[in-house]
């Protein structure tokens, strides 16, 4: 799996957009970018994933650069409940599926 | 749709004892994954079961074992407990036939070894 680099922590004001960056300069052509988050003492929650096109769902948007070496997860209107550790994971999509390798992630703190 | 459930929520054991943790996946999900999250450490992959068979295991000693039942629920057993086994144990499931890596996690079992 390609290695990812994320800032250890970020702050965001409630109601503003939270932009979480992730570098994955060694990503391969068949690797997807996945985002999960873990609210304190809970199980991780799948957020979104993408290959090369920008993706949007009810939780967030994922912007992947044209060279695919980095991406940004955007929470358009952050709330206090979005305070969590956010993990960027790069994985090959396999028909069988396998383990997820979680790095250190980014601790996002949304402030009132 | 009910999510992944795990039991018990909390478990307290003494060193040397055995612990059994249980997981029920989302209906229709056939793969079950177990992860360990020790205090201050990241999530570490433990075991992966699919269709009743162990498909892969992480870098953990053999005293960590498990199984998956015909109804796709799973059990994680930890023998000869050590203090370092104190952690949050998370179970995740994945839908049958999907090639993606969307895993849905349960709330975890907090194991404390004294």
What is the pLDDT, as a whole number, of residue B6?
A: 97
* Percent of chain B residues past pLDDT 90, beyond the cut: 74
Report chain B's terminal Cα–Cα distance, integer Å: 37
A76: left (phi over 0), alpha (psi -120 to 50) or beta: alpha
**Interatomic CA distance for residues B59 and B45, integer angstroms:** 8
What is the pLDDT, as a whole number, of residue A2?
A: 66
Q: How far is B11 from chain A (nearest CA, A)?
A: 15
B107 Cβ under 8 Å from any chain A Cβ: yes
What is the pLDDT, as a whole number, of residue B2?
A: 80
- B99: closest chain A residue by CA: A95
Sole residue written with tokens 């979480």: A20
**Interatomic CA distance for residues A25 and B65, integer angstroms:** 36
The C-alpha R_g of chain B, in whole angstroms, comes to 13
What is the pLDDT, as a whole number, of residue A98?
A: 65
CA dist A101 → A20, A51, A89 (Å): 19, 18, 7
- pLDDT, average across residues B55-73: 94
- pLDDT, average across residues B9-34: 96
B50 Cβ under 8 Å from any chain A Cβ: yes
Q: Which long-range contacts (CB under 8 A, 24 or more apart) does B55-62 make?
A: B55/A96, B55/A98, B55/B31, B56/A98, B56/A99, B58/A99, B60/B36
pLDDT tens-digit series, residues B80-97: 999 999 999 999 998 866
Cis peptide before A106 (omega within 30 of 0): no
Considering only the beta carbons, identify the residue of B58, B94, B104 that sits closest to A97.
B94
pLDDT tens-digit series, residues A49-79: 999 889 999 999 999 999 999 999 999 999 9
Which are the contacts of B12, defined by CB distance < 8 A and separation ≥ 6? B111, B112, B113, B114
What is the pLDDT, as a whole number, of residue A30?
A: 82
Res. B98: pLDDT tops 60: no
pLDDT tens-digit series, residues B32-56: 999 999 987 788 999 999 889 998 8
What is the pLDDT, as a whole number, of residue B26?
A: 94
- B90: closest chain A residue by CA: A43
Mean pLDDT computed over every residue of chain B:
92
A45 contacts in B (CB within 8 Å)?
105
**Interatomic CA distance for residues B56 and A61, integer angstroms:** 32
What is the pLDDT, as a whole number, of residue B43?
A: 87
Q: Is B83 helix (H, G, I), strand (E, B) or coil?
A: helix
Q: Which residues of chain A have pLDDT under 50?
A: 95
What is the pLDDT, as a whole number, of residue A85?
A: 95
Both tokens of A83, joined, read 């305070």
For B26, which DSSP code?
P
Please list the residues that pair with B2 across neighbouring strands: none
A93 Cβ under 8 Å from any chain B Cβ: yes
Residue B71, Cβ density class (10 Å: 0-12 exposed, 13-18 middle, ≥19 buried): exposed
């Amino acid at each position: 799996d390609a290695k990812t680099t994320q800032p250890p922590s970020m702050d965001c004001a409630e109601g503003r957009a939270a932009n979480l960056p992730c570098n994955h300069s060694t990503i391969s052509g068949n690797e997807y970018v996945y985002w999960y988050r873990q609210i304190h003492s809970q199980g991780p929650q799948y957020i979104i994933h993408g290959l090369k096109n920008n993706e949007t769902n009810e939780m967030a948007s994922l912007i992947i650069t044209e060279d695919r070496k980095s991406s940004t997860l955007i929470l358009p209107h952050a709330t206090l409940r979005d305070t969590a550790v956010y993990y960027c994971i790069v994985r090959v999509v396999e028909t069988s599926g396998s383990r997820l390798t979680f790095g250190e992630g980014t601790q996002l703190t949304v402030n009132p | 749709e009910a999510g992944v459930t795990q039991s018990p929520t909390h478990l307290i054991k003494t060193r040397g004892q055995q612990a059994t943790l249980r997981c029920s996946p989302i209906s229709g999900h056939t793969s079950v994954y177990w992860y360990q999250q020790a205090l201050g450490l990241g999530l570490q992959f433990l075991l992966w079961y699919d269709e009743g068979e162990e498909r892969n295991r992480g870098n953990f000693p053999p005293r960590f074992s498990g199984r998956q039942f015909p109804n796709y629920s799973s059990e994680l057993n930890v023998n000869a407990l050590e203090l370092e086994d104190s952690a949050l144990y998370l179970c995740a499931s994945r839908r049958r036939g999907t090639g993606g890596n969307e895993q849905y996690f349960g709330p975890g079992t907090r194991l404390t070894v004294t």
